[in-house]
Structure formats: C-alpha cells, structure tokens
Amino acid sequence: MSIGDKFRNLIHFPLGKFLMMVSVAYTTSMFATPADATIYYISPTGADSNSGTSSSSPWKTFGFAIRKLRAGDTLILRNGTYNASNTGYVNVNCSTNAANGVSGQPITIKAENERQAFIDGDGSVVPFNMINCSYWTIEGLHIKSADNPANRSNGSVMQIDKGHHSTMRRNLLTNNNRYANGAILETSLDYSLFEENEMYWFHRNGFSMGNDNTIRRNYLNSRGYSDLRSPGYSSIIPNRGDVSIVLYPASNNIVENNISEGGYAGFSIQNAYGQSTDNKFLGNISIGDLYGFLIQARIEGHNTKAEQMPLNTVMQNNVALNSTNLGVYLRGNKNTQINGLTVIGAGISGLQADIEEAVPGDGAPTVYGDNVLVINATYGLYVKYPYTFTFNRPGAYNNGTNYTNRGATGGFVNSTQIGPNLGTCRAWIPSTSRMKGAGVNKADVGANILYRYQDGVLTTVPLWDPSTGEFPHGAIVPGVNDIAGSSAFDVHKRLNVNTNGCPFPPGYSTKPPSPKTSS
C-alpha cells in the first residue's frame, strides 16, 4: 500500500458547508437560548433524577445531560471514570439531540479538576463524538480509547465534524483503536481553536484538521505505538504513529508553537481530494520524526495541474531535530515561503525539494527562503528540477554535501559554510553564534522559538516557563503524561531549554527583544 493510500479522506464541499450553516441556524432556533446561563454537574455516581445544578446533586448519563444544555451553559464533569456501563459515552449531534452555542455564549463541557474526569473508552465506538455543532468548548478532559476488533469503522478517540467556532483546550487524549482507521482527534471543524492538548499512543494520525483553524501549543508523541497484526489497520511505518498534525486537505490554518516527537512525520500537508492553500507553520518543533515537515502534492482525488500542489504555504521559525530521513521535505509545492529554519542531524537531507513524477502539478513548483540553517545531515539543502527557487543567506555546515542544485532554476544567494557555534542550543540562536544577525535584514540565520505566536502574530509573551523552562502543558496524570523522556512536561530538557548549557537570553521574562523579520 502506498503512502497515498494510508491517509484518511476529509472532503469539504462548499454546498455541504452552506447546508450545514442553514442547519445550524435552524437548530439554534429550535433550542431557545435562556437569559441566564446555567452550570450543571455530572458524575459516575450521580442520578438523572437529580437536579444536576449542584455538585452534590449531579446527573449521571451523558445522554440525559447533553439534551439539557443551551447556549451559555456549562456541564462540569466531577472526578471519576466515565465508561459504557455507567454514564455512557459522549455523543452530541446538534441536529438531533443537542443545541448549538452562540457567539459569546458557547456550550462548555469541562472537568471540575483538570484531567481528573476520565472518559475510558472500550473501542466499541468513538468515546467523544460530536457532529453538526458550533460554539462549543471542550476543556480539561482525559479521554482514551482501546483496541476493539468489533469496531473497524472509526478508531478515533475524539471525532468532531461539520461545525465551526469551537474550542478544544488542555485535553489529554490517548490510545486510538488500532483495528480501525482514525486519528486521536479527527475533525472537519472550521474557524476553531485547538490549544494545549496532549496526545500519546497513536498508530495513525494525531490531529487531522479542517479549514481556518488555529492549532497551538499542543504536544504529540506516538510513543512507538505499533500496528497490530492483521486484521489491525496498518499505518505507514508499523512501529510508530503516522503524522502528528496533518492537513488533508485543508486551507487557511495557523499551526503555531506545537511539538511533535517520534512519528512518521511531525507536520504535514497532504494535498489530495481538494487543494490545500495558505496554511502557516509558525514556531513548531519536530524531534525524532522520520520527516519533520512533509508537504506534498498527491494524485488521489483526480486533481489536475496546479490543484495538486500545496499552495502559498508559509513556514517561519521552525525546528527539525534528529529527523531520521528529512528535516523538511517539499514535494511539488507552489510558492512555499520559508523564513528562519533550523535543521540539525537529519539522516538524509536537511531540506529537500523535488516532485513525484506521477504528480507534476503545473510542472513549475517554487520555493523561496531566507535564513535557513542546516547542519549535520548527509545533504544540507538539496533542490531538484523542475523547481524554481531562491534561498537567501542560508547557512550549511558539516553536511556530507552542503548545497546541491540538481538542475533546478535559481540558487543559493550569499550562502555560508561556517560553523554556527550553537553550543547546546536547539530552539533559538544564542548570542555567541556566528549566525546571530548574519541573515537577511540582519536577522538571525536559523529559527528562534522563544516567544508565543498568537493567531499568526509573534508576540512578546514567553513560550517557555521563565522559571522552569517547561513547555506549556496541562495537569499531570500518573502513568500517562509523567513518563520522562516522552512527555510534554520534560521536553524542554531534550531541547536544552534553559538547561544543559543553553540559558535563556538575558531579560527573557521581562524584556524580550523586538522580533526581526526578513523582507
């Protein structure tokens, strides 16, 4: 089975979106919005005959509680284990059994204490399923699924489709059903926010996205979750997850300040069954993925010419560390813009641009980049015909071959091949580096991931905890996200963030420098 056969289809039709919006408006009118929002409670030890309006009188089943919620209401999950035999699983359909929220008054489902409400799926169904819903917030839950051969239709842990303007924040999601296709979180939501979630033990994809979303400060690690023997659903590489964040196809997404570890690909655009355009990857880090960033044209869906090509992708301040194959792999892209990239220790190429012969697109792929740094790879920067390209002020050092142009149009302008003197720093360019201020417009050559992006804009808010160096993460659940060496809580140590000889720049917590950009 080819790589192209391994990804699940997410198809977006404009007419379908229009009909969905009509359905949302109709459903909202069916469920009147109360003047005052209400807080309700649910517990595995509750009862549906209770009032549900106090923590001492919670409801018991999701099927009962979901129907009661109106715009502005909040359903609080008390501590405990929620499963098929007590509360049932979460199944929300805003066309049948639930209401939509409205702007400024979302419907919220959240844990009373972050991640202490545990939805323990048995793999028979998706344990958290939502469809046709808009303006909902899901926050602080711990959800897992399990291997179940009786369900081979959808193995996702959380499935959220056909809606918009919703938020998934600080959830802990693990263990997709390996007998079925599916992601940890699979969604076709639009105009939604996915923030500070953690995802572990997945053999397919982590996130699979819709359009116009913001995906930020999430951490994903497949932890070598191997395929099951037949009849399990196979992944691309049988001993690890597929892609941490995949846009397939999807457009106008902002993917900012996320970290992927140990997958087939960290961040990917798969341009099949529709075009992917105007996506942004900002301040992301890949550690030990086979491909740090994989952006490719695909032949599926009978797309033709330029429609096959990922278009207008922006990559700014990204890091690929110890990629087994390639740090950044561009296959048939059009107008890809790369500014501030660091690739260290790629097994084959730090950055490679070529095409698959069966998917030539319009035959004229293009990539342009400033301030790209590649060290310790077999090939540094490698561009092949028929690409047109320019890389301005790149740095390549200690690669088997630093710069390779295999018949492409363009070149490497003002390139350097000197040691960058990064020391142990990986996430930013230290003041002692020869790459400091050596780039276009006196910016640094390489990536600086110190401050948060917010909706596509680099801010002066520290990304890392100024005291501990930690990456943002939610509450610790023993045995799940406290495993040293493969969890969010200590990923800063693997990146030498304020440790192992790479201290924060002076004034990091109080006086960040103004970010420099290239023209």
Q: How does DSSP assign 358-407, residue by residue? A: T--TTS--EEEEEEEEEESSSEEEEEETT-EEEEES-EEES-SEEEEEES
Two tokens at 342?
A: 């660091």
Indicate the domain borders of the chain: 1-226, 242-461
Q: Can you give the pLDDT at residue 270?
A: 86
Write the DSSP assignment of 495-513 as a string of letters: TTTTBTTBPPPTTTTT-PP
Q: Can you give the pLDDT at residue 361?
A: 85
The answer to whether 100 and 133 are in contact (CB under 8 A) is: yes
Q: Can you give the pLDDT at residue 8?
A: 34
Q: SS3 for 39-72, per residue?
A: EEEECCCCCCCCCCCCCCCCECCHHHHHCCCCCC
Burial of 1 (0-12, 13-18, 19+ CB in 10 A): exposed
- The single-letter code of the amino acid at 452 is R
Q: Can you give the pLDDT at residue 4?
A: 39
- The single-letter code of the amino acid at 63 is G
CA 154 to chain centre: 20
In what helix (H) or strand (E) does residue 200 lie, and over which residues does it extend? strand 198-200
Q: Which of 151, 283, 267 is nearest to 217 (CA)?
A: 283
d(CA 339, CA 10): 29
Q: Can you give the pLDDT at residue 275?
A: 82
Q: Can you give the pLDDT at residue 3?
A: 38
Write the Ramachandran bin of 155: left for phi over 0, alpha for psi from -120 to 50, otherwise beta.
Answer: alpha
Q: Which of 164, 190, 159, 161 is nearest to 254 (CA)?
A: 190
Q: Can you give the pLDDT at residue 303?
A: 59
- The single-letter code of the amino acid at 406 is R
Q: Can you give the pLDDT at residue 298?
A: 79
d(CA 230, CA 234): 8
d(CA 19, CA 428): 46
Q: Is the pTM of this model over 0.85?
A: yes
The answer to whether 195 and 222 are in contact (CB under 8 A) is: no
- The single-letter code of the amino acid at 413 is V
Which residue spans within 307-365 are E strands per DSSP? 314-321, 326-331, 336-344, 349-354
Q: Can you give the pLDDT at residue 233?
A: 95
Tens-digit pLDDT string for the chain (519 aa): 333 333 333 333 333 443 344 344 433 434 444 557 999 999 999 999 999 999 999 999 999 999 999 999 999 999 999 999 999 999 999 999 999 999 999 999 999 999 999 999 999 999 999 999 999 999 999 999 999 999 999 999 999 999 999 999 999 999 999 999 999 999 999 999 999 999 999 999 999 888 999 999 999 999 999 999 989 999 999 999 999 999 988 999 999 999 999 999 999 998 877 789 999 999 999 999 999 999 998 776 555 677 789 999 999 999 999 999 999 999 999 999 999 999 999 999 999 999 988 888 889 999 999 999 999 999 999 999 999 999 999 999 999 999 999 999 999 999 999 999 999 999 999 999 999 999 999 999 999 999 999 999 999 999 999 999 999 999 999 999 999 999 999 999 999 999 999 999 999 986 545 545 443
